[in-house]
Structure 1
Amino acid sequence: MLPIRECVLQTPGYVPGEQPQTNDFIKLNTNENPYPPPPEIFDALQAELPKLRLYPDPVSTKLRKAAGAVFGVSADNIIAGNGSDDILSIAIRTFVNPGEAIAFLDLTYSLYDTLARIHGASIIEIPTDENFALSEPIICPEAKLIFLASPNPPVGKHLNRDYLEKTCAQSTAIVVIDEAYVDFSDENHLDFLQKYDNVIISRTMSKSYSLAGMRVGFGMASQSLIEQMNKVRDSYNLDRLSQTLATAALESHSYFQTIWQKVRRTRSRAIAALRDLEFFVFDSDSNFVLASPQWMSAAELYAQLKERKILVRYFKHPRILNYVRISIGTDEEIDRLLTAIAQIKAQK
């Protein structure tokens, strides 16, 4: 018998969205930004290519300074990671001993559960209400770490800000507020960093900054927390090219702000059109919507769309069995999706 840890054997593992191996799909299943970054950010790569024989900056100095300028915090309050998933993993390994408790909502980003189980932590699921929302502040004294995504997938709405702030104020745990989708809304929680020394804000450049393929994320917290997390971080967790492209993207912040507004306009149009097609659709603060067809099972709709080379996300979570999550694509992609849905509905 191979010596595999019991908690690993018992963990089913995280299941990412399908990545098709051909280019003929409309891909609305993994919340990527449908628009490319500005071409000028790639100019910075040329100077780095001859340096690939050298290790990258282990602490991503230029990148953290660029992030600090955008987010309004000191570079000393930022840790860079291989996507925000890396930040989540670092937080667990920094603040939670195996066997101690990690808390998160009963419907949220499923990687929280996977990371906790692989670490050997115990899990506390915080119940959400019938709208999958937080109905009161979280009082969970046994938790060492609490993961809270706002906006919270797969619904895509911000958590109640008052409840979230009271959770941070009252908790003895480290509270990680995962803001992967925050740039597609008017709200964030960066001000919590000035109020609470137990708060970590995580961000990613995969969604709003169109760099999902480069895997860059950040954790922002008090300097004392960042210092401890840096002990746990892999020594060279971001390569040269990722650091260079991400820095250039942050320096093109105004370009991306225009893109975020374009996504939001398409999102509003998609929600209205889906409701006209007899879907129940949650309002969204993200670059995706959670929608339930009222005339067909979500599983069947997912399958029929896939036959038409359109991918949306279908989860087998018992609370959302009749929902699909639809990433907001370009206007053309959303038009093709809506046309396909109308055709499927007409054939019922």
Structure 2
Amino acid sequence: MASNEHNNGRIVYSPYAPPSHPEKSQLCPPSEHIHIKHPGSDSTLFTLPRLDSGGIHHETVRTACAILDDNRWDGFLTLDKHGEHPVPKAETILRAKIYYFHTSWPLNDLGYAVTPTFEHWRFPHDNLPPSWRDIASFKQTSRPESDNYCRITQFEDGVEDAHLVPSAERQWFNNNMTAYIDSTRADKLKDSDNRVRLRSDVHSVFDAKRFAIVPIDGRLVVYCMNTKLGSQVERLYHGVELHRIRDSGYLGHFLLARFAYTVFERLRAWLESNTSRKLRLRVDNATRVEICSPERCWRFAQYTAYQGKSRSVSPKKRPHPDAGAAVDSDDECQWVEAEFRGRKRRRDDPEVTQRRKR
């Protein structure tokens, strides 16, 4: 009996096989992305890999597009830039190669402005998208025995709190989310409503904006948006339901904020395309639309690229590929930081100076 219990004295076991999800087949990773385009410029706003049964989840993509256009939840996707072939809402999975996002019917605003960064995004108070409003009523998978378990992997060791709105976005959080925190603690950003328990390595991937947590079919699931095709993160976690997350009534608000934070990472290529863009900027709590130069668009993209990272790799001092030396003056650094954070620029902006000369 004792020898059987101890595997006949065995003390060395074979190495683990590569990790896998028990319900996922080990198919070849998708080799093609689906393009979501702006009808006004016929340019690709962002792309997503075909991770959902050969396509991408319709409502998740539509919500991402609406975030970029000032929370236009009435927006819709079409197969052509003129909007003659709208995609039915009943079509859950999008499988065509190209889609266009439109914001009105009849189509009288093909040239709508785009919000460039998370910092310039206006949180939709009292106006969450339909698929996010009912999160509080979801019948989530039962909570593990211990709150310390990772909500994705069920690991108990090496688990820590991950912020939904990251600590690096404290100013945005204070301006947009404190009304949803029912707490007397001094640092509301650390409140339980803005946290989810994740294993430390999963937390790192989450903070790198590789995935978000989205509602699909009445469940909260991992949705990979910025992962490499065929990566372990994609193969292990995409589409996987989370175990129950604590919800005091505003979980949908914080998950939507995190989703938006992740979505803007996909917009970087559009901003870096060396083209002037029509952007919607939020400065001193007021919104304005401007035609921004390629250089300025590039700076917005770089700010997103280095969100939450060390100031030693700050986008303020990164060189533009077509702009010669890196931006290195303290004065210019100050106005760049101010603009990205949604405040008026305090120093001389070359674009502003040029306009004054006209």
TM-score range, shorter chain: under 0.3
Q: Normalized per residue, which structure has more helix?
A: 1
TM norm structure 1: 0.25
Structure with more relative contact order (C-alpha pairs < 8 Å, separation 6 or more): 1
TM norm structure 2: 0.25
